Structure 1
Amino acid sequence: MTPLQQFVEDHPRLFVLTGAGCSTDSGIPDYRDRDGHWKRPPPVNYSAFMHEPATRRRYWARSMVGWRRFGSALPNAAHHALAELERRGRVELLVTQNVDRLHQRAGSERVIDLHGRLDEVRCMGCDWRLARHAFQRLLVERNPAWAQLDATDAPDGDADLEGHDFASFDVPPCPHCGGIVKPDVVFFGEAVPRERVDAAARAWQAADAVLVVGSSLMVYSGYRFVDAAARAGKPVAAVTLGRTRADALLTLKVDARCHEALAFLQTGKRPETALRE
């Protein structure tokens, strides 16, 4: 029995927190290196997106290219392993910092998308919403020449579309009020909704221990739960490659790829839920 398997056996109610490392085997790049440093410039800032039309054009042009692969990504063995852990009744709650909804597609149900979901867009004026696949069609209709471009994938549906003049990119406004359309995700500089934070706090308090999977915990929105749980005396295990912000708080550290460390839970893939249209 591995130390991680023993940790899971010893703590029947787990608060699970996942990050980008959980989805890299699904073809979605992560943000940070083994030392927790940015591999690329930080993601778009909320204030810039809301107040700078040029930033919105650049974001949506890159997103239109990146969505083609991000939107068809499938859960990997790590997602299936955590879904199996829930099926065994061992998960109090899974809080993910990812926006790809791959945990749900693997079969997990007790999930909070801490940073939102990239498969929906919403109007920042009237809260009109639309599936991202449908919004992709609107983007392509307005920008047919851009639809022929390709670029290297970047984290969270972005693409490294450099060397282009984004001034001509046409971003569809909200069809109801003409407002700014934004992915239903929490951008840098934007607050995580209080109800998600409160629900996560109640869950770690009710859990026996915390299991971190694929996160360096460098972002405070996830780190806060680990810090609070450790201060309350809860054991914390982390599965991730490289350094985490919480290394000094950990009861167990497993420096390995997520699917490898969780192999003891893998019982074969389950059918994924179809993408929302």
Structure 2
Amino acid sequence: MGISYVSSGIQLVALWLRKAKSAVVFTGAGISTESGIPDFRSPGGVWTKYRTVYFDEFCQSAEARHEYWFQKSEAHTEFAAAAPNVGHRTLAKWEASGRIRGVITQNIDGLHQISGSKDVLELHGTAREVNCLDCDARFPVDPFVEQFRATNEVPLCPECGDGRLKHATVSFGQSLPEKDFERAHQWCQAADLVISVGSSLVVYPAAGLPELAKRNGAKLVIINRDETGLDSMADMLIDGSCGEALAAIDAAL
């Protein structure tokens, strides 16, 4: 049974969104699982099947780089096949109409941009590109995944010749992208409404952003199938499908 747009909670969130001067949406894995992308932490996810390759290990060890590329090449199948769902499309619509300032996301799948969102702050980077750690060149990821699958050899940077290519995502032990995190911090300080969608809100420092907004006077709405780390702070909790909930709020606007 879907989420009804006539429910009082949905209607109240729609009212808050209509009145908001600076609304921000914060998204996590839950919005993308509805597009067929598995949560890395869920049973059968990459993190449960393989050992973690830490950033310093990737930098120092050719064997670790091979293991990293093996894992990323397997995960790439789901990313390549996935398409934005109604939740992504609703957020793109809200941004285009000025309802929200933009999207802050923990996701690395690029589905917000594919759906049409323009101002997306990717706190954990993107799996749609690779980045050379030695010359900082960036390239679309697909040709390098295909190369690895064909040769079983870690690809090298075509720009500088032998640079270490890594997906443009944040690995364990690697710093968050400073520019995006600083902008996200500014957005949340100025926000009067934050809607958290599909995040467990337990991974810091990212999860501290909705908390920052709340402590600065913003209303906090949490949409998630499971309990989150900030449920006790929320002004509204909506339990269920991210896409259905966002579509219901949109219908009530």
TM-score (structure 1 length as normaliser): 0.79
- Aligned pair partner of 1:10 in 7, 16, 22: 16
Q: Residue 173 of structure 1 corresponds to which residue in structure 2?
A: 156
Cα distance, 1:181 vs structure 2 = 0.8
When residues 88 and 43 of structure 1 are mapped into structure 2, their CA distance, relative to the original with a 3 A threshold, is farther
SS at match of 2:102: strand
For residues 130 and 154 of structure 2, the distance between their equivalents in structure 1, rounded to whole angstroms, comes to 13
When residues 252 and 32 of structure 1 are mapped into structure 2, their CA distance, relative to the original with a 3 A threshold, is farther
2:234 is equivalent to residue 234 of structure 1? no
2:231 is equivalent to residue 247 of structure 1? yes
Equivalent runs, 1:59-208 vs 2, <5 Å: 59-143=68-152, 170-175=153-158, 176-208=160-192
| Contact 1:81–1:262 (CA under 8 A) maintained in structure 2 | yes
For residues 41 and 154 of structure 2, the distance between their equivalents in structure 1, rounded to whole angstroms, comes to 30
Amino acid across the alignment from 1:174: C
Structure 2 unmatched runs, 5+: 1-5
SS at match of 1:243: coil
| Contact 1:60–1:171 (CA under 8 A) maintained in structure 2 | yes
Number of residue pairs matched? 238
Amino acid across the alignment from 2:13: F
Amino acid across the alignment from 2:56: S
| Contact 1:230–1:236 (CA under 8 A) maintained in structure 2 | yes
Moved more, 82-91 or 2-11: 2-11
| Contact 1:31–1:40 (CA under 8 A) maintained in structure 2 | no
Cα distance, 1:264 vs structure 2 = 2.1
When residues 79 and 191 of structure 1 are mapped into structure 2, their CA distance, relative to the original with a 3 A threshold, is same
- List per-residue Cα deviations over 1:138-190 (Å, max 9, x = no partner): 223423xxxxxxxxxxxxxxxxxxxxxxxxxx112223241211001111221
- List per-residue Cα deviations over 1:107-147 (Å, max 9, x = no partner): 1112111111111101101112221012123223423xxxx
For residues 94 and 245 of structure 1, the distance between their equivalents in structure 2, rounded to whole angstroms, comes to 20
Cα distance, 1:39 vs structure 2 = 6.0
When residues 4 and 201 of structure 1 are mapped into structure 2, their CA distance, relative to the original with a 3 A threshold, is farther
- List per-residue Cα deviations over 1:33-79 (Å, max 9, x = no partner): 6xxxx866785322222223222211212322332332231101111
When residues 43 and 260 of structure 1 are mapped into structure 2, their CA distance, relative to the original with a 3 A threshold, is farther
SS at match of 1:91: coil
Amino acid across the alignment from 2:95: E
Q: CA RMSD in A?
A: 2.2
- List per-residue Cα deviations over 1:195-246 (Å, max 9, x = no partner): 1111112212332211000000111132111121121121101101112111
When residues 39 and 171 of structure 1 are mapped into structure 2, their CA distance, relative to the original with a 3 A threshold, is closer
For residues 196 and 120 of structure 1, the distance between their equivalents in structure 2, rounded to whole angstroms, comes to 16
| Contact 2:131–2:139 (CA under 8 A) maintained in structure 1 | yes
TM-score (structure 2 length as normaliser): 0.86
| Contact 1:92–1:206 (CA under 8 A) maintained in structure 2 | no
| Contact 2:28–2:105 (CA under 8 A) maintained in structure 1 | yes
When residues 62 and 42 of structure 1 are mapped into structure 2, their CA distance, relative to the original with a 3 A threshold, is closer
Cα distance, 1:4 vs structure 2 = 3.1
| Contact 2:130–2:166 (CA under 8 A) maintained in structure 1 | yes
Structure 1 unmatched runs, 5+: 144-169, 268-277
Q: Residue 273 of structure 1 corresponds to which residue in structure 2?
A: none
For residues 74 and 180 of structure 2, the distance between their equivalents in structure 1, rounded to whole angstroms, comes to 30
Amino acid across the alignment from 1:257: S
- List per-residue Cα deviations over 1:237-274 (Å, max 9, x = no partner): 1101112111221111111110121122568xxxxxxx
